[in-house]
Structure 1
């Protein structure tokens, strides 16, 4: 792509589910596709793509079909403008930046929990050893000054989101519609902005751990080294390609919090392109006596005034995407200090493992005090969006009692409830009801962030791939949970904001907006048919 091309020159919004196609393997019929034969693709008078050989013979190309299982949030439904931005966040561009800014900028890195788990599973190492390898790589081979985990940014994000949901629920905040939907998944966020802008009022505006960590790390490192924040170059290792687009979202002060995002896949490509022997790197990291004490290692390469450097590498309860749905209920439970033991969080399974409800229940009265839910994958997301849209529209609707009667009739006739599937007698009458939840944790990828498109892939067959994801999840769960007191965290954040003269919204809140599709027919025709 030409170096003169900029994002401002492009206007080719791709409509999801219309323009998304997957490649079709060429046919071997006749002379088409013969080895060495030069073929070209043109658009005929009817606007259809055709294949033309050197003799001028044409063959109309078959339009590919795509199912939801083919659609990956972390690589599709993006414009060419966004593709340019993603290319700017590649490991090759990062290598160029290291060469360009060598001696001019200080390099720092933040590493996500899912990325560490993915590398752990792929390299057959413990997560602790992977941390040693990554720190050895970034500090000693690449010359980084600071390396931290994203745990601090995640806990700030969790606290902010939980507080906003609680405030909205208690005060009846009109700016937030119920249920409140998380917005830390950029794939899901882009889906809302481009295709369902009516959902924008439902979104919580809390920033993701990546962006919070990026701002904290840059400003804190700059203060420690007495340099300007723009002289610090921030790298983030994330599980998802869409995180590159999240990092490219412009801030109000036009300062970039994360300069480059790479994935675990790209970390391996980086090692290969820089001719770094991975086996030797692993051997050195595991044998280095100064790397034996992992806690001391975390503290050594974190900024001096970083809150609990060790806990920045520890995990959190709940889902492998951060546990937002769980922590909302846990926050409510912990606020019942006098009788917290009377409450428990129960899980209600949905029609598949990627959708479930969490309930905060009073064990004495069996009353459900609060609800949250987890929805992963676009199949479940589309169903959720449809339900929210239907509930928000005015007009006659079947009452809850009427729907229950229809369900009973179907069940009596031997049919399985198509919405919820079969249920054991123990759970009769208990079904996941997303519209009754105060908060829904939404992630575009099936299984959530532990299955992000940038993580290292396993076997291609479905059964083995499923086992692979389960193994990565097991590695993720092996990361010990940490504990940073809420009061201490709040005080540290407040002191940090005052010391660095940063307003709280700059650190904690993101901005969303409707993305309009092009209105000219030519552009729409091209993006709809390719």
Structure 2
């Protein structure tokens, strides 16, 4: 690698193309009594303001500057936008500070914080995740004037439960091929713009961020949804794009008003003298349960679930938890066949690199269900290629492919678990695939805090993973699932929120540009 180009300067985002445009959907009619200007021309005055000047009588009208929002980027196929480089007004810490200053008396401010962001901050400050939680509560509540702060665990657990039900039903209906997770907005946008043929395989269950936003704005009583300003702290810039995706029947409703990454949160504090990370806060004297209860909405349920972790990958354990729930379903529905729970085992089969592996649920060594974890766009592209041409993938391998597989098996046989490693990983044959755009998953998101000069990339990431795994996990067992679903049924009735509104998202193919100039000027994957 060049000495000038550093690894930390690289990311998997692409800059917006020159062809980035926002089409005019409709021309507003003149207000009552306002003159019709007829033919007009646009001029810039001495102060740089755009003016619309009538060629009929010379009357002038000031124009507002055009803006490109995240929602516009989602609907445009001219390029794949970079959420780092596009100036997105509603998702910057400057806009958050301005909103706090201008609307602190008219809005209720609430924040949600994900596990990966907490782990990144804990690693950056060389402290525990619990201390980071105290620091974040102090920052948001005591310094910035937020009223509520919650973890995203409740939203994640509801997402995990609904994800399982979605995949299990498809498997029960004997649908062919795997269901693909959709909690990574970078992967979803990639599929919508470049591989629409796989969209019918994507799970329509919302991500933890969107679950949490809907719950926050529904459970804060006596406050209209539009008067609640929800800030989500996420590891990835693409989560800004996810928050901008309109609701299917409520295009003007947003469950998440602002998404900030840990890196942006640090920048906010460094650039504002009013804020600091206070590690001597009196909140440190509280127990964690007291702290979480103190800053949650009064009717926020399952406080013990709000900040706890889930076993499995550091992206949320989607594949692993699908298998755990599948095991519970077998014990419940076929107790005669699966009577001995100790005979269940989840076996991991590693793939050709660290970012692809398979998890198999076995009963007495017989496979009953399987999932795969696929991270990084290189592995994603290989997966999509296989899904597009299954007959080609199943064709007899060439001589070169046979040699490559033989070498792979030889190298795997030297590992401690050689017998488990000798099998090939084929995500297209699994029930479900957990997909994340970032290599190593969400713990390595583009918005996480970078390492110092004296630490390697791998060491820093390994330490972040340790911080993540230090967060206490709670089993997603049968009783927990039952309690969550019962609460949801009551929530739908009490809040007039439908199950689809809370749980379901949608996808659509983004039409490719027809203008050849746009195709040439825009960026491509």
The TM-score range, normalised by the shorter chain, is 0.7 to 0.9
Unmatched tracts of structure 2, length 5 or more: 1-47, 50-63, 332-338
Distance 1:421 1:206, change over 3 A: farther
Partner secondary structure for residue 88 of structure 1? helix
Q: Secondary structure at the match of 2:411?
A: coil
* Among 434, 437, 440, the residue aligned to 2:433: 440
Aligned to 1:7, which of 40, 44, 68? 68
For 2:448 and 2:201, how far apart are their aligned partners in 1? 29
1:482 Cα deviation after fit = 2.1
8 Å CA contact retained: 1:146, 1:303 = yes
Distance 1:289 1:355, change over 3 A: closer
| 8 Å contact kept, 1:13–1:79 | no
> 1:236-291, CA deviations, whole angstroms, 9 ceiling, x for partnerless residues?
00000000110011112131100000010111111122214636x112x2xx1674
- After TM superposition, the structure 1 = structure 2 runs for residues 213-232 of structure 1, keeping only pairs within 5 Å, are 213-221=212-220, 223=221, 226-232=222-228
Instruction: Give the C-alpha shift of residue 427 in structure 1.
Output: 4.0
Q: Which residue of 2 aligns with 1:501?
A: 496
1:141 corresponding residue in structure 2: 143
Q: In the alignment, what sits opposite 2:114?
A: 112
What is residue 416 of structure 1 aligned with on the other side?
407
State TM-score, norm by structure 1.
0.79
- Secondary structure of 2:386 counterpart: helix
Cα RMSD (Å) of the superposition? 2.6
Give the corresponding residue for 2:340: 339
Aligned to 1:127: 129
| Equivalent in the alignment of 1:247 | 243
Partner of 1:446, secondary structure, is coil
* Preserved CA contact (<8 Å) 2:240 2:258: yes
Change (3 A) 1:203 1:368: same
Aligned to 2:254: 256
- Asked if 2 retains the 8 angstrom alpha-carbon contact of 1:111 and 1:236, the reply is yes
The alpha-carbon distance between structure 1 residues 138 and 263, as it changes in their structure 2 partners (threshold 3 A), is: same
Corresponding residue number in structure 2 for 1:233: 229
Deviations 1:183-226 (A, max 9, x none): 010000010011111110110111000000001011111x1xx1
Structure 2 residue 475 is matched with structure 1 residue 479: no
Are the counterparts in 1 of residues 117 and 234 from structure 2 also a CA contact under 8 Å? yes
Q: Does 1:282 align with 2:282?
A: no
1:304 maps to 298
> Structure 1, residues 357-380: CA drift from partner, whole Å, max 9, x if none?
000011x3x111111000001111
The CA deviation at 1:12 is 6.6
Is this contact kept in 2: 1:345–1:360, CA < 8 A?
yes
Q: Check the 8 A contact 2:83/2:238 in 1, yes or no.
A: no
User: Within 1, Cα distance between the matches of 2:324 and 2:273?
Assistant: 47
The match for 1:330 among 324, 347, 354 is 324
CA change 1:350–1:495 in 2 (3 A) is: same
8 Å Cα contact 2:349-2:421 kept in structure 1: no
Q: 1:83 aligns with which of 86, 92, 97?
A: 86
Match of 1:516 in 2: 511
Q: Offset of 1:105 from its aligned partner? A: 0.4
TM-score by length of 2: 0.79
Gaps of at least 5 residues in structure 1 are 16-76
Q: How many residues align?
A: 444
Q: CA deviation at 1:426?
A: 2.0
Residues 398 and 115 of structure 1, relative CA distance in 2, 3 Å threshold: closer
Deviation of 1:429 (Å): 5.0
C-alpha distance in 1 between matches for 2:325 and 2:261: 32
Gap change, CA 1:282 and 1:300, over 3 Å in 2:
same
- Over 3 Å counting, the alpha-carbon distance change for 1:415 and 1:334 in structure 2 is closer
1:428-478, Cα deviation, whole Å (9 max, x unpaired)? 7511121210100000000000000011011469x7011111111110000
Q: What's the offset of the Cα at 1:100?
A: 2.0
The one-character-per-residue Cα deviations of 1:475-512 (angstroms, maximum 9, x if unpaired) are 00000002460000001111111111111111001111
Q: Contact 1:237–1:263 (CA<8 Å) still a contact in 2?
A: yes
Distance 2:257 2:420 in 1: 49
CA contact (8 A) 1:349 1:357 kept: yes
Q: Are the structure 2 counterparts of residues 474 and 232 from structure 1 closer, same or farther at C-alpha, using a change threshold of 3 Å?
A: same
Q: Aligned partners of 1:355, 1:398: CA distance in 2, in Å?
A: 17
The 1:496/1:399 distance shift into structure 2, 3 A limit, reads closer
Q: Decide whether the 8 Å contact of 1:12 with 1:527 is kept in 2.
A: no
- Counterpart in the other structure of 1:465: 457
Change (3 A) 1:199 1:276: same
